[in-house]
Amino acid sequence: MRGRVRKSGLPELFAFLEYDRGRYLAFVLGDGILDSLGRVLQTFSTGQVVSLLESRREGAIFMVAALLLVSAAMSVTSRFCLKGAENCVNRMNERIRERVFRKIPGLSAAWFDTSNSGELISRVTNDMGSFTPLFSDNIPGIFFFVAYGVISILAAMGVNWQLCVIFVICSLGFKGINDLVVARIRDISADAYEKNAGLVERLLLILTGVPVIRLFGMQEKMERDYRRENEEYTHLSVRLESWKGFQNAANALMTSTVADLAVILGAWLVLYHRVSLAELVVLSQLSGSVTMMFRWTGQIFGEAAAAGVAGNRIRELLEEEEEPEGFSDDQEEPEADGTEGQRKNACPEKVPKEAVRFEHVSFSYGEKPVLADVSFSVVQGETLALTGESGGGKSTVLKLLLGFYDVQKGRIYLNGSPLSAYTRREARKLFSYVSQDSFLFSDSVFENIRCGRPEAGIEEVKRAAKLAYADGFIEELPEGYDTSVGERAVRLSGGQRQRIAIARALLKDAPILLLDEATSALDAQSQLEVQMALERLMEGRTVIMIAHRLSTIRGADEVLVIEGGKVRERIRKE
């Protein structure tokens, strides 16, 4: 997501309309043509009024009335077309929001490792709001002004083609000005969107880090950093508005010049009887329409360029690579060592007691190797503890099992079958997971526990909470199980959060349990309470735990010491 957003044309952005594309174009084209024809007819009706005043022909009034009636009918119909186009845009926005919402949970773990939440929020909120006017205002405006200009040129050619040619040539000056400005607006808009994303990220850091900011007296530093980025964003915004102001001023000057030229030339033609006064009135209004086409299409293209940048940012998010449904089956094969051999086609019947097996697994984050030739197995119902220095690769073992990343070399087996035999969804159903800082949604206690099994009822949720020794404190909450835990579960203590997470895992009732230092951040009393809940959760399950405390490791059937990405020591319980 980083870096300048690549440019793309309208056809790529039109893909957002999906099945409404043809209907939208028909509505926009209908609005532009009907509204333009209605306005041109109004112009000719004005000419007829002048002609009526000159000749005093009473019959001409019926022509004026007919033109005005047809013009009014076209204008009303064009409004219905515009409303139809707006409905297409509203449906498009609904689909995009749903696609973005579906997309984000499906993005790969590697994507989240290299992106920040501020950038994502900016794309979903600011860019969405900036992108919509492209289809609701800019494109209909371009269609209208082009149709209005072309129809006006054709009509003016029928009145006096020489004067029409002069107006068109003079109006071409708008194109040169607007081409220059649109390119600058597009580039500055891209920079401004990126800088705004940085501001959102900075604000999120402040909101989530208030206690640390206060504790270490970082208010002034954070304020300086935010002020600096805000000034840079403001500078870009000022530059953007300056270019738009230059465009407006230049277009206004050109409009005034062409209008003055029309009056001077028209007066000269009337004096020498080349055109009538009625024709001059019509030509003057039509020349304004031609000028308007060149002026406003250029200005709208400038606005569309900025909106297009926002659209491209949304499109690039939707085109990001998603986590594949299945596991990769093209890892490098481990070298046979004569004992474990190649077990690519292992099946449950051959190893009925093995829940998890790693065979010569290696993995790197980019250029940084994390695991190197790691092999181990866990028998069903046993507990394996992983310990060792921080950064040694222990958490990566769990991430590989959960399918957040694909193995690059070696093989992983679940219940004797290669991991590639499962889809990620199928594999994850086999695991429950409790981490050091378990995440809870800003929702009720009931809904947070029910995440383990969304179809569960209140009695099942209460039973899981009781097994996790959480029912006591839950019943004491203001609204019991309906109490909201607040954002980041701030209304609960660390031990309470962990017991709700354990209740969630109990409700899921998966055969394999993964624990990532589930008690390391707790005080002695909370640790004791959570440890009791964990022991209840571990009963009858295969457990792989990351731990450092001796009290936690003591109950494991086997301990692996992992340092530098390798298994340095194996300790088997006698």
When pLDDT is averaged across residues 254-283 and rounded to a whole number, the result is: 75
Is residue 483 left, alpha or beta, with left meaning phi > 0 and alpha meaning psi from -120 to 50? beta
Q: Cβ–Cβ contacts within 10 Å for residue 202, how many?
A: 17
Place of tokens 């030509």: 283
Please check the confidence at residue 358 and state whether its pLDDT lies above 90.
yes
pLDDT digits (tens, 9 = 90+) for 545-574: 988 777 677 788 899 999 888 988 888 876
Specify the pLDDT at position 131: 79
Specify the pLDDT at position 354: 86
Specify the pLDDT at position 212: 65
Please check the confidence at residue 4 and state whether its pLDDT lies above 80.
no
Q: Cβ–Cβ contacts within 10 Å for residue 558, how many?
A: 17
Which 3 state secondary structure label does DSSP give 451?
A: coil
Q: Label residue 321 exposed, middle or buried (CB < 10 Å: 0-12, 13-18, 19+).
A: exposed
When pLDDT is averaged across residues 369-388 and rounded to a whole number, the result is: 90
Please check the confidence at residue 343 and state whether its pLDDT lies above 50.
no
Contact 499, 470 (CB under 8 A): yes
Question: From edge to edge, which strands make up the β-sheet containing 417-418?
Answer: 368-379, 354-365, 409-414, 417-418
CA gap 199, 357 in Å, rounded = 46
Q: Cβ–Cβ contacts within 10 Å for residue 230, how many?
A: 15
Which of 73, 67, 196, 219 has the alpha carbon at shortest distance from 125?
A: 196
The single-letter code of the amino acid at 55 is: S
pLDDT band of residue 174 (cuts 50, 70, 90) is: low
DSSP code per residue over 137-187: IIHHHHHHHHHHHHHHHHHHHHHHHHHHHHHHHHHTHHHHHHHHHHHHHHH
Domain extent listing, the chain: 10-318, 354-572
Contact 172, 258 (CB under 8 A): no
Cα 198 from chain centre: 15
When pLDDT is averaged across residues 453-462 and rounded to a whole number, the result is: 90
pLDDT band of residue 331 (cuts 50, 70, 90) is: low
Phi then psi for 404, rounded to 5 degrees?
-70, -30
Pairing relationship of beta strands 558-563 and 383-387 according to DSSP bridges: parallel
**Alpha-helical segments (H) within 371-470:** 394-401, 424-428, 445-450, 458-467
Specify the pLDDT at position 161: 78
CA gap 96, 102 in Å, rounded = 10
Find the length of the chain. Answer: 574
Please check the confidence at residue 234 and state whether its pLDDT lies above 80.
yes
Give first-to-last CA distance, the chain, whole Å.
52
Contact 99, 313 (CB under 8 A): no
Specify the pLDDT at position 413: 92
Going 136 to 139 to 141 to 143, the CA torsion angle's sign is negative
Cα 461 from chain centre: 34
The single-letter code of the amino acid at 134 is: L
* Strands (E) located in 298-395: 354-365, 368-379, 383-387
When pLDDT is averaged across residues 357-386 and rounded to a whole number, the result is: 90
Please check the confidence at residue 123 and state whether its pLDDT lies above 80.
no
**∠337-341-347 over CA atoms, to 5°?**
160
Contact 406, 422 (CB under 8 A): no
Please check the confidence at residue 524 and state whether its pLDDT lies above 70.
no
pLDDT band of residue 2 (cuts 50, 70, 90) is: very low
The single-letter code of the amino acid at 82 is: L
- At what angle are helices 173-208 and 277-318 packed, to 10 degrees? 30
CA gap 560, 452 in Å, rounded = 29
* Least confidently predicted of 305-309, 327-331, 401-405: 327-331
pLDDT digits (tens, 9 = 90+) for 37-77: 988 888 888 777 776 666 656 666 777 788 788 888 888 89
The single-letter code of the amino acid at 434 is: V
Which of 443, 505, 446, 454 has the alpha carbon at shortest distance from 481?
A: 446
Which of 195, 176, 197, 190 has the alpha carbon at shortest distance from 306?
A: 190
pLDDT band of residue 340 (cuts 50, 70, 90) is: very low
CA gap 219, 506 in Å, rounded = 43
Q: Cβ–Cβ contacts within 10 Å for residue 253, how many?
A: 12
pTM of the model: 0.66
When pLDDT is averaged across residues 267-277 and rounded to a whole number, the result is: 75
Which 3 state secondary structure label does DSSP give 352?
A: coil
pLDDT band of residue 3 (cuts 50, 70, 90) is: very low
CATH number given to 354-572: 3.40.50.300
Identify which has the larger pLDDT, 503 or 273: 503
Contact 538, 382 (CB under 8 A): no
pLDDT digits (tens, 9 = 90+) for 140-165: 988 998 898 888 888 888 887 777 77
CA gap 49, 65 in Å, rounded = 10
Q: Report domain 10-318's class.
A: mainly alpha
Encoded tokens for 352? 């009925």
Which of 174, 169, 167 has the alpha carbon at shortest distance from 263?
A: 167
Who's near 314: CB < 8 A, 6+ residues apart?
A: 96, 100, 123, 127, 128, 131
Beta bridge partners of 558: 384, 572
Question: If residue 365 lies in a helix (H) or strand (E), which one and from where to where?
Answer: strand 354-365
Q: What is the mean pLDDT of the chain?
A: 80
Question: If residue 196 lies in a helix (H) or strand (E), which one and from where to where?
Answer: helix 173-208
